[in-house]
A = this chain, B = another copy of it.
Amino acid sequence: MNGAEGLLRTLAAHDVAVCFANPGTSEMHLVQAIDASGVVRSVLCLFEGVCTGAADGYARMMGKPAMTLLHLGAGLGNGIANLHNCRRGGAPLINVVGDHAIHHVAYDAPLTSDVEAVAKPVSAWIRTARTSEGLGLDAIDAARAARSPSPQPRGGIATLIVPADCAWGEGRALDRAPAFDASIQLPRVSADIVESVIRRLDEDTLILIDGNGLTEDGVRQAGRIAAARGSRLATPTFPARVEAGPDLPLVERLPYFPEQVLDALKPVKKLVLAGGQAPVSFFAYQNLPSNLVPDHCEVIHLAHRHEDVAQALADVADALDAPAMPGPGGARPEIPSGPLSRGNIAALLAARAPEGSIVASDSGGGGAAFAPMQRCVRHSWLNLTGGSIGDGGPVAVGAAIACPERPVFALIGDGGAMYTIQFLWTAAREGLNITTVIYSNRQYNILEVEYRRMGVNDIGDTAASMFALSNPEIDWVRLAEAQGVPGSRAATCEEFDAALQRALAEDGPHLIEAVL
């Protein structure tokens, strides 16, 4: 057995089942090991940002890491934007990055790069393997590091760099390490903290839930607290995953712009943080604060992200002997008609999305679907986390690989979609049940909004051209069909609804260009 096979078998023994791969020459022994061992499912992606975003989406659904297989510093570099998103969301992920053989690095061949330096800004753990025999132990350490509870913003990204000679040399596979499962237990919050939080709970309190507090159990426990004390429940603007639906307590979502967040928090006198950070402005603006917590508001930490947030919420609710809070139990909305808008698309999705859907939302209007869906259909919502657009499609790919029986939606803006448009090819190849909705307004709409926020209302031609995706307009139907995904274009609710029903009735991926 060579080092590559030892690595693969050891990772598989430690619960790594899927590899999102874009390999090159230095990874050929790893490809051979994937082929020969048959212990991980290999999913080819044509761009590394698809690999890393898909691994993020997979981990958000499975609670365990997938591996990526990437080609030296340049390949890892292409994956950085979605690794940034993954790190911000805190999902576990194991990058396996090939590198030149150790003796070859000194010759400074053209692809030579400082792979560790490329990995550093996005990795919580980095190691360059030094022996083929040691790759098994390296794999265990990587798997443990990825799954170890880790405070934001370090996330759970482990990057293992594998020089080619470590892959081709004699190796060995290691069995599951006895301490492996124990290492991934989330710390429980102390009773003192639970009690101090209970003393602050009333109708002026907002409980901001994030991370593992947004599981079904976490949301139910938070609902009990709200039922007992009348406190508000909210998620941050960009949660990695929210379980939501008519049978679960309603949890509001903090808005995006700082003025809106300040407004939302104005009545809040006590802010209880359950798994997240106090709200800050996404960007800095002149004449607006970065910290969005009102001056008069006390901030109390119930649980940090690396702790067991759902358990902490349960401890509070149990201490209050709180009853369950019913969900909104809303009916599906009526099918709207006429020209499409973000709101109409949201209603159409809420009306048609099957129970148990997964929604990956990137940017550009998809977020509007959360509120109506939350009231009437059980779903898992996977949001853009780190603000780097271009993760909706790849995250949907990973979620669909993780949960093949659940329908997946990718709700993405036209600007964002172009960063990682290669995800469609992987969706087609793997036959994934992903319905991609492109919010096609032919511009980086957010930039025009932000530009106007600067006080510029007379936008010059040059600036306008830098926000515009027109000239030429992108033909999303052809872009999908070119990659093997059936596409259709909808400008009205009727057209959208027909396309949506077709997408849901047929197996495999579909794309709908929603012309706005």
- Looking at the complex, which one of B46, B100, B238 makes contact with A284 (CB distance below 8 Å)? B100
Question: Does chain B have a CB within 8 A of A44?
Answer: yes
Q: Known contacts A80-B80, A386-B74, A463-B35; is A478 also within 8 Å of B469 by CB? A: no
Q: How many residues of A contact B (CB 8 A)?
A: 101
Question: Does chain B have a CB within 8 A of A385?
Answer: yes
- Looking at the complex, which one of B81, B120, B460, B477 makes contact with A36 (CB distance below 8 Å)? B460
Shortest CB-to-CB span from A264 to chain B, Å, is 17
List B contacts of A425 (CB < 8 A): 418, 472, 474
Question: Does chain B have a CB within 8 A of A341?
Answer: no
Q: Known contacts A46-B418, A104-B284, A281-B104; is A113 also within 8 Å of B121 by CB? A: yes
List B contacts of A104 (CB < 8 A): 280-281, 283-284, 290
- Looking at the complex, which one of B38, B118, B454 makes contact with A80 (CB distance below 8 Å)? B118
Question: Does chain B have a CB within 8 A of A381?
Answer: no
Q: Known contacts A21-B466, A418-B46, A460-B36; is A387 also within 8 Å of B81 by CB? A: no
Q: Is A77 a contact of B73 with CB atoms below 8 Å?
A: no
Residue of B nearest to A462 (CB): B35
**Most chain B CB atoms below 10 A, which of A77, A168, A428, A472:** A77
- Looking at the complex, which one of B113, B286, B428, B459 makes contact with A472 (CB distance below 8 Å)? B428
Q: Is B74 a contact of A110 with CB atoms below 8 Å?
A: no
List B contacts of A168 (CB < 8 A): 286
Question: Does chain B have a CB within 8 A of A31?
Answer: yes
List B contacts of A32 (CB < 8 A): 451, 454, 456, 463
* Identical subunits present: 2
**Most chain B CB atoms below 10 A, which of A153, A386, A465, A473:** A386
Q: Is B446 a contact of A25 with CB atoms below 8 Å?
A: yes
Question: Does chain B have a CB within 8 A of A28?
Answer: yes
* Closest A-B pairs by Cβ, 9 of them: A472-B484, A77-B80, A101-B284, A74-B388, A104-B284, A478-B482, A35-B463, A111-B387, A479-B482
The chain A residues found within 8 Å of chain B, CB to CB, are: 21, 23-26, 28-29, 31-32, 34-36, 38, 42, 44, 46-47, 49, 73-75, 77-78, 80-81, 83-85, 88, 100-101, 103-104, 107-114, 117-118, 120-122, 152-153, 164-165, 168, 238, 277, 280-284, 286, 290-291, 385-388, 415, 418-419, 421-422, 425, 428-429, 446-447, 450-451, 454, 456, 459-463, 465-466, 468-469, 471-479, 481-484
